[in-house]
Amino acid sequence: MRASDAERERIAELLREAVAEGRLEMDEFEQRLETAYTARTHGELEPLVRDLPAPGTAVAPVGASAPPLRGSAANWPARIGSTATSKGGFALWGGFNRRGRWTVSRKFTAFAMWGGGEIDLREADFEDREVVIRCIAIMGGIHVTAPPELNVDVRGVGIMGGFGEGPNEDGETVPEAPRVRITGLALMGGVGVERKRTKAERRRLKEAEEAERAVRERQRLDGPDAGPGGGGRKELG
């Protein structure tokens, strides 16, 4: 069956996710992307993603000692159910942070008064599939960072302050991910929730975008021989 432009673009998006997750090296990404944009049939497209899972899909780890993938490559079921390493954070005239590899308690309480706190969930594990993070900020601030695919529900109250979500990066939540409910109070202070990828993932995505522009430019210069989806429809004089 003939492939449509929308189907070629869907395959390209899966390849972008794969390189962001570290599943593909950049040279392999470029090769597959170029093939995707010149593919004419489903039979040419399918092999390009046959060895790749859909974004956020759980994948069994290779070998018993293999650690679960983290960030957007998360093997979510493997990240749920471990013993909590922290049940809260406290800051008075100072600060606290929870980031990197740690396990969030099913009920986590954060308090900041004349100080600040940082809660980073992007590489965290979770004690339970349902997690409640209660944030109290009094003349202080608490910042929560979550990966784009995490299910987050923000229900806090701000009094002479702010409690809510800030700018978020694009990304779809996945059913395998935990559900995190963020509640609490910001009194003359602020609690902010942000969804974004890790620096490593953003760097790989940027490199993928640059590689994709190079592929499109090569196909444009190749003219009509670049095939459908290649961006070239006529020869350059």
Cα angle, residue 57 at apex, residues 45 and 18 outer, rounded to 5°: 50
User: In 3D, which of 78, 124, 81 has the Cα closest to residue 100?
Assistant: 124
Q: Are 145 and 120 in contact (CB under 8 A)?
A: yes
| pTM over 0.85, yes/no | no
- Above 90 in pLDDT, residue 220? no
Q: pLDDT digit string (tens) for 101-147? A: 999 999 999 999 999 999 999 999 999 999 999 999 999 999 999 99
* Alpha-carbon gap, residue 185 to 190, rounded angstroms: 9
Q: pLDDT digit string (tens) for 31-58? A: 888 888 888 898 888 888 888 876 544 4
Q: Is 185 exposed, middle or buried, given 0-12, 13-18 or 19+ CB atoms closer than 10 A?
A: middle
pLDDT of residue 67: 46
pLDDT of residue 60: 41
* Alpha-carbon gap, residue 27 to 184, rounded angstroms: 47
Q: Where on the phi/psi map is residue 5: left (φ > 0), alpha (ψ -120 to 50), or beta?
A: alpha
pLDDT of residue 33: 86
* Alpha-carbon gap, residue 189 to 135, rounded angstroms: 11
* Alpha-carbon gap, residue 97 to 150, rounded angstroms: 20
Distant-in-sequence, close-in-space partners of 20: CB < 8 Å, separation ≥ 6 = 72, 197, 201, 204, 205, 208
pLDDT of residue 37: 85
- Of 20-24, 44-48, 87-91, the poorest mean pLDDT is in 20-24
Q: At what angle do helices 5-20 and 26-38 cross, to 10 degrees?
A: 170
Q: How confident is the model at residue 72 (pLDDT cuts 50, 70, 90)?
A: very low
DSSP assignment string, 34-82: HHHHH--BHHHHHHHHTT-PPTT-----SSTTPPPP-GGG--GGGGBSP
State the average pLDDT for the chain.
83
